Amino acid sequence: MRHALALTLLAAMLSGCASHADRDISGTWINQNAIDAAAKGVNLRQALLANGPNLEWRVNVKAGQATFSNGFEVGEGKLQASDKDEWKVDFYGNAETLTDDADELIQADSESGPEQTFLRAKAPAPLEAPVGTTFEQALYTAYLGGEWKIIEGPGQGATVRFGSSGQISGMPGADRYALCLAGDCAAMSGEFDSLWLEQKQQGNPWIFVRDGEKLEILQAVNQAANDEMPDLHPGARRWLLEHQ
């Protein structure tokens, strides 16, 4: 009896020691908190800033790699197992700590930003897609998914659909769109949300205002001099859309 109990305890101890090695955090993890905040129909940039800066992690334990996207920059680091359920990601001397907590991947607070939580993506983009694509597609679906009716502006009465991969239908003069998440476009529009609308690969930036079920798209007026970085501000309203 004692011999059987000893074997049981030993097996439990070995299982506990091996649990970290057997655990695989490989895959794509997205910042669902940022998506949920934006989906309430609020200012997109504020929702991302409040829950950022990172929006997606792509982890490959076997290859010892972990890559993040903040909507503009992509950083690839070397992944190494640490104590308990922690992994260290080394970015040329700067390190981030990732912890596996049940169904969540937690990025510890560091010099780059506060603690963040990520969920494993239910429908990850193909591996050949750029890092950040999975988050972007999930955000587009949550923030602009469904049908929108043009209340005012060209095409009044038409139904507009924003696709998760950046396609758009029903909007006069546009067949593609992209929301500004970070980087140069955010610097140019400052406190204002902006998006890019194009048709046949020719397009322009626009300012937009999301207020619940209503979406205003306004002309982007550049208040900077010709030799300065564009400084975009809202101009005349072009469209008013309402979520159906």
Same domain, 76 and 164: no
Answer for the pair 207, 193: CB distance below 8 angstroms, yes or no.
yes
Same domain, 92 and 155: no
Per-residue pLDDT, averaged over 105-124, amounts to 94
Helices (H), the chain: 2-22, 32-38, 44-51, 133-144, 184-189
How much of the chain exceeds pLDDT 70, in percent? 91
Same domain, 28 and 136: yes
Same domain, 116 and 36: yes
Per-residue pLDDT, averaged over 114-120, amounts to 97
Instruction: For residue 17, name the pLDDT band (cuts at 50, 70, 90).
Output: very low
CA 179 vs. chain centroid, Å, equals 11
pTM summary value:
0.89
pLDDT at 83: 72
Q: Which residues pair with 176 in a beta bridge?
A: 167, 198
Same domain, 108 and 156: no
**What's the chain's Rg over C-alpha atoms?**
22
Residues 65-92: tens digit of each pLDDT: 999 999 999 999 999 998 778 999 999 8
In this structure, what CATH number is given to the domain that contains residue 138?
A: 2.40.128
Say yes or no to pLDDT of 14 above 80.
no
Same domain, 28 and 107: yes
Per-residue pLDDT, averaged over 194-221, amounts to 97
Instruction: Show the domain range for 136.
Output: 24-122+129-142
Q: Please, what is the average pLDDT of the chain? A: 91
Same domain, 167 and 209: yes
Helices (H), 41-179: 44-51, 133-144
Same domain, 31 and 84: yes
Same domain, 136 and 43: yes
